């Protein structure tokens, strides 16, 4: 699209109408990230699938990094909170930290996802699904360093204080 230099809307960045999408499972810890599980956008992801990801990705990382002595923090997505998931996690020995619902300001992995999305848009700019997957894996190698993971996890303390100061309201945006 050609626009005149004086056009007030010329600064609006182009975005694809239907961007490439995938679903990602990622865990980060003070020791660094676990392996990333990438699921296609049209694939269903049920409680059984989530538990399989925990068995194949979370448990090996938890064992390698912490000898299995760690707890999982996840949000309250339906696949995380289903009876099947709770039963299976108890069977395989996954301990879960209680976590407040709808709290992305305090969920370190959500901050990592936001950073990844920003880098994908501004730096990698994938044009198809294969490039998107390659870019996600490159982002993990380039940016999800142990130091980044540590800083992101330490941010929780600051976010918790901000949430307390705002009487439970979101850190970003208005209380009203």
Q: List the domain boundaries for the chain.
A: 23-165
3-state secondary structure of 25: strand
Extract long-range pairs of 44-48: CB within 8 Å, 24+ residues apart.
45/79, 46/79, 47/78, 47/79, 47/82, 47/84, 47/85, 47/88, 48/84
- Averaged pLDDT, groups of 10, the chain, 176 residues long: 63 59 91 90 85 96 92 90 97 90 80 93 91 95 95 87 81 56
- Entry pTM: 0.77
Helix (H) or strand (E) segment spanning residue 53: helix 47-53
Does the domain formed by 23-165 have CATH 3.30.420.10? yes
**What is the per-residue pLDDT for 176?**
43
- Supply the pLDDT for residue 38: 92
């Amino acid at each position: 699209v050609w626009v005149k230099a004086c056009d007030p809307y010329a600064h609006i960045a182009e975005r694809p109408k239907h961007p490439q999408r995938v679903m990602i499972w990622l865990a980060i810890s003070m020791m660094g990230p676990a392996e990333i599980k990438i699921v296609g956008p049209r694939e269903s992801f049920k409680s059984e699938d989530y538990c399989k990801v925990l068995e194949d990705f979370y448990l090996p990382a938890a064992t390698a990094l912490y000898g299995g002595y760690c707890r999982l923090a996840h949000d309250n997505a339906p696949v995380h909170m289903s009876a099947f998931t709770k039963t299976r996690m108890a069977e395989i020995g996954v301990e879960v930290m209680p976590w407040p619902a709808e709290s992305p300001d305090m969920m370190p992995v959500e901050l990592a996802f936001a950073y990844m999305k920003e880098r994908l848009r501004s730096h990698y700019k994938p044009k198809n699904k294969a490039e998107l997957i390659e870019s996600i894996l490159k982002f993990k190698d380039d940016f999800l360093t142990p130091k980044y993971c540590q800083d992101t996890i330490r941010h929780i303390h600051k976010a918790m204080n901000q949430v307390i100061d705002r009487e439970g309201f979101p850190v970003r945006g208005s209380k009203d």
